[in-house]
Amino acid sequence: MLAKTYGMSVFGVSAALITIETNVAQGSKCFLVGLPDSTIKESIQRVESAIKQMGGFFPRRKVIINLAPANIRKEGSAYDLPIALSLMHASEQVEMPTLPHFVIMGELALDGVLRPIKGALAMVMEAQKQGFTKLILPRENATEAAMIQGMEVYGMETLSETVLFLRGKTIHKPFPTTQTSTHSYDDGLDFAHVRGQKIAKRAFEIAAAGGHNLLLIGPPGAGKTMLAKRISSILPPLTLEEAMETTKIHSVAGKILQNSQLIAQRPFRSPHHSISSTALIGGGSNPQPGEISLAHNGVLFLDELPEFSRHALEVMRQPLEDHHVLISRAKWSIDFPANFMLIASMNPCPCGYFNHPTKDCTCGQEVVKRYLNKISGPLLDRIDLHIEVSPVAFEEIRSPDMAEASAIIRERVIAARNRQQTRFRNYPEVHANAGMTSQLVGLFCPLQTEVETLLQQAMKRLQLSARAYERILKVARTIADLAGTPEIEPNHMAEAITYRNLDRENWAG
Ligand SMILES: Nc1ncnc2c1ncn2[C@@H]1O[C@H](COP(=O)(O)OP(=O)(O)OP(=O)(O)O)[C@@H](O)[C@H]1O
Ligand SMILES: [Mg+2]
């Protein structure tokens, strides 16, 4: 007898429909066909054990299990459940005529208990596109999958529970659709706790408003890490669409905790500097998104930037520009979204005290230069704002005056983002000023003669690289947006120029 049901293959962050056909006929061998990898071949062992646990049997006849279409790579253990069910139906152990109405995925333990799978959200989205309305998934994935309106998701705990349900012996309600609010929660980190540091805070506000990358440079204890950890508190809320995108990536990476819902806050990822380039960028034999993709629509914080491997930093250059990363292998390539804001911090030299107001640096010019050279020019070039953070004075730390709260800064950031949304309404791929192409910079950052002259003079005087030019224009545009003026005014330009510290060829001598 022939049985048919459906599953989903996840590739990158998208899914594709897979038909699982099982035929049991005269003969004696079991064949698994349709480009399955070795992990799926092991599936037969788990399926056999799980079926036996519930009192069934593995047919000792000719069994052909076909996963179609054959040209899509299928991997992982998530096909156990549809294979087990179609096998039981095809061998006439239990009749489950409704089997073809469902998309079914789940890994089986040897005792028939269902284990969670990766990428459930991408599967539900694709199932809906393909016209399905019903899915059976492991119980742990149900909350995550139930985010999509109009889909019936049944969360099951065991193979036998699933069989009873498909035979109509038990009634299950579809999992209630989870709330898809993108209200951010409060993690207690607020800019009000940071004393002084007016310039640094201003730079963070500009970075958040325009989606600019930011590099903090300063001595130990100046508050760089403290500042960076507070960026989430001033970022605009995720739109529903962005939240879905981000959740989908985390789901594919298996990073969604059991029973958790839509990711409601912009991600803040801060990998340790010992991270490998694969873990940072993504990849591996069974390609997984890296930290840059997990930070999609949020922040990637690289603390102690020069300590990261040179290779890891260099491969990050392309995604920083393109906002996605293409991982290519001999036979296939996968595209992961990676639209993140980079916040990086570093000491100015190995001892940390170069340019310190009171302490002496023991490094010497050459050593300082060599340390800075660990960050390549092209990478530095992709960072719009460079700021020097100096430690605040003791009096300032002890001062009882509270600084401005993040909530107030955030309001200004949101207002500036709203202006940008209006500006880019015909350019859906551009979310903020930092994402403008050269052509858009030309279109949206016209300069009056006075401002143009100012920029020209500064470029000469500070020996700014030609590459810094566009960065300055984008930042000036954001400063004007924060001020709420349609034109870039001279003071906006003057401020933008100050954020190119490391471009100045006289930095570190
Ligand atoms: N402006 C400030 N207001 C309040 N506390 C501060 C400030 N600056 C520093 N501190 C205190 O100093 C501690 C150290 O700061 P932080 O870890 O951010 O320094 P850092 O610049 O990252 O240093 P390193 O280069 O060693 O990593 C903070 O945890 C905080 O308690
Ligand atoms: Mg630090």
pLDDT digits (tens, 9 = 90+) for 403-420: 899 999 999 999 999 999
Ligand 1 neighbours (beta carbon < 6 A)? 194-197, 218, 220-226, 347, 392, 397
Question: What size, in residues, is the chain?
Answer: 509
Helix ranges, 112-239 (H): 120-129, 139-145, 159-166, 198-210, 224-228
Atom of ligand 1 nearest to the CA of 218: 21
- Residue 508 domain-assigned? no
Counting ligands in written order, the one closest to the CA of 389 is: 1
- Residue 186 domain-assigned? no
Nearest to 16 by CA among 28, 6, 25, 2: 6
Q: Which of these three, 166, 181, 213, is where a domain ends?
A: 166
Q: Within this chain, do residues 402 and 305 fall inside the same structural domain, yes or no? A: yes
- Residue 324 domain-assigned? yes
Q: What are φ and ψ of residue 25, in 5° steps?
A: -140, -175
Q: Please tell me the total count of domains within the chain.
A: 2
- Give the per-residue pLDDT at 57: 92
Give the domain range for residue 121: 2-166
- Give the per-residue pLDDT at 504: 59
Q: Return the best residue to mutate from 202, 215, 225 for the ligand 1 pocket (most ligand atoms within 8 A of CB).
A: 225
- Give the per-residue pLDDT at 242: 86
What is the pTM (predicted TM-score) of this model?
A: 0.85
Nearest to 469 by CA among 490, 454, 450, 448: 454
Q: Within this chain, do residues 301 and 408 fall inside the same structural domain, yes or no? A: yes
- Residue 349 domain-assigned? yes
- Give the per-residue pLDDT at 240: 78
Measured by CA distance, the residue closest to atom 27 of ligand 1 is 220
Q: Within this chain, do residues 377 and 335 fall inside the same structural domain, yes or no? A: yes
Nearest to 358 by CA among 331, 332, 394, 408: 394
CB 204 within 8 A of CB 336: no
Q: Within this chain, do residues 162 and 311 fall inside the same structural domain, yes or no? A: no
Q: Within this chain, do residues 219 and 151 fall inside the same structural domain, yes or no? A: no
Question: Which residue type sits at 201?
Answer: K
Measured by CA distance, the residue closest to atom 26 of ligand 1 is 220
List the structure tokens of 45.
């062992």
CB 230 within 8 A of CB 403: no
Measured by CA distance, the residue closest to atom 18 of ligand 1 is 223
CB 194 within 8 A of CB 401: no
What's the CATH code of the domain at 96?
A: 3.30.230.10
Token pair 């000023």 is at which residue? Answer: 433
SS3 label, residue 172: coil
Q: Within this chain, do residues 396 and 493 fall inside the same structural domain, yes or no? A: yes
User: Pairing state of beta strands 114-115 and 107-108?
Assistant: antiparallel
- Residue 243 domain-assigned? yes
b or e along 498-509 (b: 16 or more beta carbons within 10 Å of the residue's beta carbon)? bbbebbeeebbe
- Residue 368 domain-assigned? yes
CB 227 within 8 A of CB 215: no
The full DSSP string for 254-296 is: T-SPTT-----S--EE---TT--HHHHHEETTTTEE-HHHHTT
| Distance from residue 195's CA to the centre of ligand 1 (Å) | 10
Atom of ligand 1 nearest to the CA of 389: 21
CA–CA distance from 243 to each of 206, 249, 250, 262, 463 (Å)? Answer: 23, 10, 11, 7, 42
Q: Which of these three, 166, 201, 221, is where a domain ends?
A: 166
What's the CATH code of the domain at 417?
A: 3.40.50.300
The full DSSP string for 54-100 is: TT----SSEEEEEEESTTS-B-SSTTHHHHHHHHHHHTTSS--TTGG
| Distance from residue 497's CA to the centre of ligand 1 (Å) | 26
- Residue 185 domain-assigned? no
SS3 label, residue 9: strand
- Residue 462 domain-assigned? yes
Q: Within this chain, do residues 324 and 367 fall inside the same structural domain, yes or no? A: yes
Q: Within this chain, do residues 224 and 336 fall inside the same structural domain, yes or no? A: yes
Q: Within this chain, do residues 214 and 361 fall inside the same structural domain, yes or no? A: yes
Q: Return the best residue to mutate from 190, 199, 217, 226 for the ligand 1 pocket (most ligand atoms within 8 A of CB).
A: 226
Question: Which residue type sits at 157?
Answer: E
The C-alpha atoms of residue 433 and residue 209 are separated, in whole angstroms, by: 8
Q: Within this chain, do residues 253 and 120 fall inside the same structural domain, yes or no? A: no
Those residues of the chain that have pLDDT short of 70 are 179-186, 257-260, 466-467, 503-509
Q: Within this chain, do residues 354 and 398 fall inside the same structural domain, yes or no? A: yes
Counting ligands in written order, the one closest to the CA of 396 is: 1
Please state, as a whole number, how many other Cβ atoms lie within 10 Å of the Cβ of residue 115: 16
